Structure 1
Amino acid sequence: MFELQKLLRPHIAAIKPYSSARDEYSGSDGVFLDANENPFGSITQEAFNRYPDPYQSALKVEIAKIKNVSPQQIFLGNGSDEAIDLLFRAFCRPSIDEVIILPPTYGMYEVSANINDVKLKKVNLTADFQIDLNGILEAISANTKIIFFCSPNNPSGNKLKRQDMLSILAQFEGLVVVDEAYIDFSDEPSFTTELAKYPNLLVMQTFSKAWGLASLRLGMAFASVEIIKILNLIKPPYNISGLTQETVLAAIGNVSAKDQMVKSLLVERANLQESLAAISYVQKIYPSDANFLLVKMKDARKVYEYLIDHLIIVRDRSKVVLCDDCLRISVGTPAENQHLIQIMKKFQA
């Protein structure tokens, strides 16, 4: 049985959070003489002299509407990476506890584990980039606190089998994190629909991909109210700038524009896949539910360097487990994709 307080590091459960001026008074009207701000404004035309809402309340209300969750089930971080780091800090005792990751996968799980001195157990995905269910169950120990799933997976691009993830959720007494950075490009329903059933589930999404707001660094985490309270307890006081909050508020009022960009990217993904398949030295293009393709080819490193020489930048994943001789290619604009194909056709394998 999942028991959140038993999972939590004891000193985190007892911590007294930093109390900011906006914790003590959250109203928007008044004479603000409480936060040592500059009362004359900022040196720009924008009013940046006041601290932002530390809990992004107005933004969470609007996100809740499009994600079908309550605002209290949302954590917003400086990218999804902040949520990942906070999970380690809240639940994993250094040098004692461990987490399970499924290579090849998003690299920040391992980086955050190393920063926080948390042991990693790696259970590789299968040859077709699916979950080794028995391998995970065998790897779980009394000190396993978190299991990370990335679906659609980075760098392979495919969605993981939903039933396998649900099976782990039902059997594991720790936290299960489902990273859905690329969910907008998939036909799979979000795991946010499972939050009411599984109190040990945390779902991560981002504004960096489908929404086209990577520079703003805004990640989302959805979980039980109790888990979100813990993340809010240990986050920096003002982790999301006022400018970011205002910009994203404006953006999410236009969901149809995001949906149109996704539709266009899916068309371009199919076109790019077809064009790549016609190149002689391309050996395999893995199925993708994301906005990129993992492509196996002869002389992958040489192709990568050749493309760099022509100012086309892709990711060399050929040294990553299960990704021998593979490049990861993001779907670009029609002109960018056509230029890529033209240059690749001239390469002599």
Structure 2
Amino acid sequence: MPFSGFDVLIPVLVVLVLLLVFAGIKTVPQGYNYTVERFGRYTRTLSPGLNIIVPFIDRLGARMNMMEQVLDVPTQEVITKDNATVSVDGVAFYQVLNAAQAAYQVAGLENAILNLTMTNIRSVMGSMDLDELLSNRDAINDRLLHIVDDAANIWGIKVTRVEIKDINPPKNLVDSMARQMMAERDRRAEILVAEGRKQAQILEAEGRREAAFRDAEARERAAEAEARATQMVSDAIAKGDLQALNYFVAQKYTEAMAQIGSAPNSKVVLMPMEASALIGSLGGIGQIAREVFGSDAPSSTRTSSSRPAAQPPFVNRDPTS
């Protein structure tokens, strides 16, 4: 059975319809936006999912990645404010917010962001001293983020972070910084040692002052005691009791003899005074004791006080002689 022209036209029309349907249906994956151009002019943006366009009239333009992306900033030389040359590299994070602006406002989006970031790194870090550059990395990152984000805003993107990864000064400069750091630490150590010595001297001086104060107080109390003893002796003499005077003189005599005998610079002590005077003084002490304790005092004391003593020419303290 021969086919007519109508029988051939129907399958052709079906095939054309299917082609038109498939040409007009566009699927956009998640995380992407596609721009649509009609006769070369931007008309709209396709969001993720199933979308329909007019076949052979509309066509897909730019396919924009809407996810946050990382852009590596290569190493570059930066001259600081104090003429120090350092090598700097970094990383930038950005995200496309408007696919049409990112596609049609700038040619070569990544290259534009990269050059913008590198230029501002040189500008920001070149206005700082080396010490400030090495110690204020967070401040540098914040300044770079605000500058680059404001400049890239017209491209429909959002710069979320700009980070400086490494700052590498020259080796000779690193050695100089190490010597400077050591000198600074030595200076701090010397200051701490000096402060410790100062505190030790202050505490020692305060200790000497306290000791002198205590010694003076002790001498004052001893002087008061001596004055009271002298006053008591004077009162006893005034009442006619001469034994108190004998006791006082004998005590002083005994103390003087003890000091002479304990001198370390001599072994033989010459006695140019009568030894009986000391025994007589001891007799006075015994008489006072008898008056205090009554007539029951030992008879040996009475005997020793009344016995005449010999008068040796000297007292030999050297046990070897």
Scaled to the shorter chain, the TM-score interval is under 0.3
Structure of higher CA gyration radius? 2
Higher RCO structure, 1 or 2 (CA under 8 Å, sep 6+): 1
Higher relative strand content: 2
Structure showing the higher helix proportion among its residues = 2
TM-score by length of 2: 0.18
